[in-house]
Structure 1
Amino acid sequence: MTEYASEDDLTAETAEDCAEDFTLTSGKVVRLRGLTRAEHLWIGKGTDDAAEIEARMVSKAMLIPAMSISKVKKWQETGRSSAVSEISNKVRELSGFGEGADKSNVRELRDES
């Protein structure tokens, strides 16, 4: 017999429950979480500017140290690109939409049409 998920099952875990420490190549550690679906939709709302989208994403997903959008933008302008990229890539992975995200279902759907 199939056991279907309940509403409680679906809403019990939050994005912060899945946060994890991430060690940068510098050896420093940050705490990150994946984006919620609402945040995922919001980060690109009203803009096609990749830097703006990245700043919004990092500001929502980086818990320690917490950074505002304006601080992330300043960091994008003055910091090492590799550090910003490491964090952005990890957030994408945690959110399920990184380069390594499984797209096999998309391919299967295309193959069926």
Structure 2
Amino acid sequence: MTEAKPFVAVVDDDESVSRAIKRLLRSIGLASETYKSGEDFLDARDAAPLRRPDCIVLDIQMPGIGGLDVQQRLAGSGIPVIFITAHDEPGIREQALAAGAAAYITKPFNDATLIDAVRAAIGATP
């Protein structure tokens, strides 16, 4: 029996960013699904509760439910959250990290930085 690949949920309203992250994750052997909004991700999670991601790469600012709200709704789930954002506003980083974010990365990001953060969050080795 083969072990399932770690699964990463990518939640970002910028489709090009989501596609790029999905390709990057695939290049290191990780499975991923992309969601264009916090609502889409939460709806998918509620519809298939057994399909639990090993990690979430989550944009801070999105229309509707933003990243910090999604993080709050996941509180206590044990799912590591890695934030990515183009808007590194004072206080937001501290709020995200204080609420348990595994990492907080600003866009544009270095591929190696994101890979290292995801691997650390899921406990994977290169």
Q: Could you tell me the TM-score, scaled by structure 1's length?
A: 0.29
Q: Could you tell me the TM-score, scaled by structure 2's length?
A: 0.27
Structure with greater helix share of residues: 1
Task: Tell me which structure has the larger Cα radius of gyration.
Answer: 1
